[in-house]
Amino acid sequence: MLFKLRELSDLFADACVRDEAGQLMFLSLYGRDTAIQQLLAAFTLKVNEGGFDSFHLQDPAGESHLVHLGNVDRLEKFTGKLPRDNLFGNLVHLWLYDPALIRPDRSNRVAWVLVDGVDAPSDQSETIRTRVWGLYKLLSPVPLLDTWQQAVLSRTGDEVVTLMGDTPYPPLGRIAAARVGLPEHFPEIVSGMVKAGALTQEATAPVLAMAA
């Protein structure tokens, strides 16, 4: 499925991720080089100068999805050209992304998971489940055993894990995303579970208990 960029002609997105406030985190866009350059220029201009602080992606059914830009200086870009002999002619593929997606913030204990939508939705969910626990272990200031996975996720998942598909700004296109943010009191939660006997080294290896 391709989404038409409503504000400029001949630009189409196949994937877009926004945060809980609708701010752009990732965009995969196709178009002519001149149209791509026009869009990037509009991102850097003020609104009263003809620039954008937001844009809309329109799906094939005609529904528009709002995307806020936020601070464009934080976005990184990567471009590539499709082979000239493709069905659509000389096209450029642009990726815009917030580096937070690929660089976990261990100081603030925040990280993201993105899953390519080539897999079935059930496979996407399973991949997210696996990666979420890996980020728990990466971000946690206290060591976590894999045998604690089910207990810890059951206790903290609703507070820590945001499945972007469940927000007012779900991912667009064949992509899934989740945000992991450990609270400052996470060590106290783990400590309390250990003291209560909910976490032991003898626990059996679990399956991540998190809503698909």
Q: Would you say residue 175 has pLDDT above 60?
A: yes
Residue identified by tokens 């003020």 is: 46
Q: Would you say residue 212 has pLDDT above 60?
A: no
Residue identified by tokens 């603030």 is: 108
**206 closest CA partner among 147, 126, 141:** 147
pLDDT tens digits, one per residue of 14-23: 999 999 999 9
pLDDT, residue 202, reads 58
Q: Would you say residue 211 has pLDDT above 70?
A: no
pLDDT tens digits, one per residue of 75-99: 999 988 766 665 556 789 999 999 9
Q: Would you say residue 180 has pLDDT above 60?
A: yes
Q: How far apart are CA 209 and CA 149, in angstroms?
A: 8
The answer to whether 39 and 8 are in contact (CB under 8 A) is yes
Q: Would you say residue 48 has pLDDT above 90?
A: no
The answer to whether 68 and 53 are in contact (CB under 8 A) is yes
Cα angle at 74 between 2 and 57, to 5 degrees?
20
Q: How does residue 138 score in pLDDT terms, banded at 50, 70 and 90?
A: very high
pLDDT, residue 118, reads 57
Residue identified by tokens 């659509």 is: 88
Q: Would you say residue 119 has pLDDT above 90?
A: no
pLDDT, residue 208, reads 40
pLDDT, residue 116, reads 84
How distant, in Å, are the alpha carbons of 1, 40, 69, 134, 190 from that of 156? 35, 40, 31, 15, 10
